Chains A and B, each alone.
Chain A
């Protein structure tokens, strides 16, 4: 058995075709020879599942300033976000929305015909006074509209796509300060052939890794391939322990119900019918940031005030909203509830529980989307990342709702622009014939193995332990339990075998390779969480329930060595005009 290997040469390669990848492609196209690689079709990307909106201080419906947005983002990040990066994002948010409107995005409109804006968790007027209408949206399918619009613009620009090409390795050349990114190795799903893409620039935009959790809003395909490939090549991952759990996932399934539902007036209630967020966040109530709401739900359930036969969920109540408002503003999510729970949200409250949603951490970058490889911010030339797979860090310890759609368009654009400039200043990399050997060996090893361990079983065990032990609330004990399980799974991974030995659309094989990414990233996440003996944003330690700004105002850099062992280093948070204070809402 020998796999066919094909060689391609480009100036710029973008890996991933969700919002960040497509926005980067729009920026790069026409400036240099560009290829976009995606393991799906572009329009299948999970940007399309984003619902609520994209914040920008347009002030279309009430007074607002980008500085207020920046303050909210810094406070929402529990002071782990880097303030210069947050300033960039909130300032450029306004251009980014106008860009999208010019690209044809079908925003919902005000009576005057302006882009309409609505409330969202953690977004406030004048530094926390009251909720503000900042989120630009298109009903409850804003992500779908962004994905479609960006893909349409790529069609308009005749961008070259390699659909259903999955990247399993990244290439470098040179040593020391000469070292630079030289391309990627991709596996063509339709044929099983390998493709070496020699490229001066590579931008990763592969999204998150929420499939390491059992209850998750993420697509099956969100397996952290970009971060996984880089982590396995010795590059650091930043702040992996900060993982967001969205408060309102459909009970038992984790399917997302937008925070926009609460922006439209929806209320969270416990099993006794009490509006418990009034106790937790007296000013903004149900529109508190996600980390706080998820913890509040966890507390209600733990203290016996949950709903249902096992008292293990709470309700999202929309029954007091006018039916026509629900139809106009929340058509999709109410449809999900009818489909999966058989409930009519206009008359019945919806059972919900927190669901694994978003990785604040990921591939460390600077504000130009350039990947940095150490705590001194040394740039790896030619390597870029944007979107959820990246960590700029604008979200710090907790991302505010809507800031992910903002992140992908702002930093997709920035990363694309920086890459287009860079590739015009350097020579083509030299790729050897053996560039694909590592991936080929891994594939052949998995295909020829008779080990007997099953990918699905290992993955389910990982998901169970992560949801039980490393989610909304963590302790030393729970994290150690997760660590023991992950160590065992990583050993067992060496003996996996698959049924499908073929070459055409062998998803048995690709799921096996994806699992290695999930396992390594979960290990990094748990190691970072064990070390961080404080509670900050989405990382809550019951055994260290306060934020410790003296010791822990710093980003984690996790490195994995060739034997799979992780070491942790730290980098100070970059501050700005907002000094850390207690987070009250």
Chain B
């Protein structure tokens, strides 16, 4: 029952470290343009970046604004750019990201205040791919059957939490916000490859438009950014192939 070397050293995890943060601030009621603010706070190696942001908000500057809810990586509220990469602040520990942090809002969506961006364009793109089951059969008053293989076919893309880490890490999306973006494609994929669904063609037609999958340049930023470990680029490729070869 002894714990092994794989466990982080308890003493190190609890030791107080000084964390330096540069946070991109913007309050439209006061500021003409965004500016950087430096903060220095004490934190443990085992603290998350979200813990550190809370320390600032609760003890230094109550005006610092960011979204958060579940604090363990399932609600998708707190995507932000941490040292140049899109991450959820609540699943990244100081021991992972270090004590020198540069934090900015995710890119490609309008900034409203500090780390809070307007999510509406993102959700509008999500809604545009018919992100719900359309089944023509009438199963009556019983469950539909689905084999374990059929269920596994779309498992990866069911994990999406709509945090926008993928979409706002995509260089094509930064340059062209008409591009529907990886997250919307993921959510289309989830139904296109669900054996119970009958609307794959409609979704493939949507994704075959010029704002659709062909904008993807396979940079893999999305896959690297996904906090749920979804193989985003692979899913996009599967959608492309389904359009090209009419294969699902």
Chain A residues with CB under 8 Å of chain B are: 40-41, 43-46, 48-49, 58, 97-98, 101-104, 106-115, 138, 141, 144-145, 148, 152-153, 155-156, 190, 219-221, 255, 269, 273, 307, 309, 315, 317, 332, 336, 339-344, 347-349, 454-457, 498-500, 502-508
Contacts of B150 in A (CB 8 A): 113
Partner of A340, one of B57, B58, B65, B93: B93
**B interface residues, tally (CB under 8 Å):** 66
Partner of A112, one of B59, B144, B145, B162: B145
Bound CA–CA A336/B3 (angstroms): 17
Partner of B7, one of A114, A220, A343: A343
B123 at the interface (CB under 8 A from A): yes
A115 and B143 within 8 A (CB): yes
A-B contact pairs, 29 of them (CB 8 A): A40-B75, A41-B162, A44-B69, A44-B75, A46-B69, A49-B75, A58-B143, A104-B196, A106-B155, A106-B194, A108-B151, A109-B151, A113-B145, A115-B143, A141-B159, A144-B74, A144-B161, A220-B68, A269-B1, A307-B1, A339-B73, A339-B91, A342-B7, A344-B6, A348-B7, A454-B58, A503-B29, A504-B29, A505-B114
Given contacts A98-B143, A155-B127, contact A220 B65 (CB under 8 A): no
A508 and B71 within 8 A (CB): no
Bound CA–CA A507/B73 (angstroms): 20
A48 and B161 within 8 A (CB): yes
Contacts of B69 in A (CB 8 A): 40, 44, 46, 219-221
B76 at the interface (CB under 8 A from A): yes
B147 and A113 within 8 A (CB): yes
Could you tell me which residues of chain B, from 29 to 67, have a CB within 8 Å of some CB in chain A?
Answer: 29-30, 46, 57-59, 61-63, 65
Bound CA–CA A48/B191 (angstroms): 19
Contacts of B91 in A (CB 8 A): 339
Nearest-neighbour CB distance to chain B for A25, whole angstroms, equals 14
- Encode B71-88 as 1/0 by CB contact (under 8 A) with A: 111111100000000000
B58 and A98 within 8 A (CB): no
Could you tell me which residues of chain B, from 120 to 160, have a CB within 8 Å of some CB in chain A?
Answer: 123, 127, 131-133, 135, 139, 141-148, 150-151, 154-155, 158-160
A349 and B113 within 8 A (CB): no
A101 and B143 within 8 A (CB): yes
The prevalent SS among residues of B at the interface is loop
Contacts of B151 in A (CB 8 A): 106-109
B175 at the interface (CB under 8 A from A): no
Contacts of A110 in B (CB 8 A): 148
- Encode B22-33 as 1/0 by CB contact (under 8 A) with A: 000001111000
Smallest CB gap from A339: residue in B: B91
B244 at the interface (CB under 8 A from A): no
Could you tell me which residues of chain B, from 193 to 237, have a CB within 8 Å of some CB in chain A?
Answer: 194, 196-197
Contacts of B71 in A (CB 8 A): 219-220, 255
Given contacts A219-B75, A220-B71, contact A499 B8 (CB under 8 A): no
Bound CA–CA A346/B191 (angstroms): 32
Contacts of A499 in B (CB 8 A): 61-63
Contacts of A505 in B (CB 8 A): 65, 112-114, 116
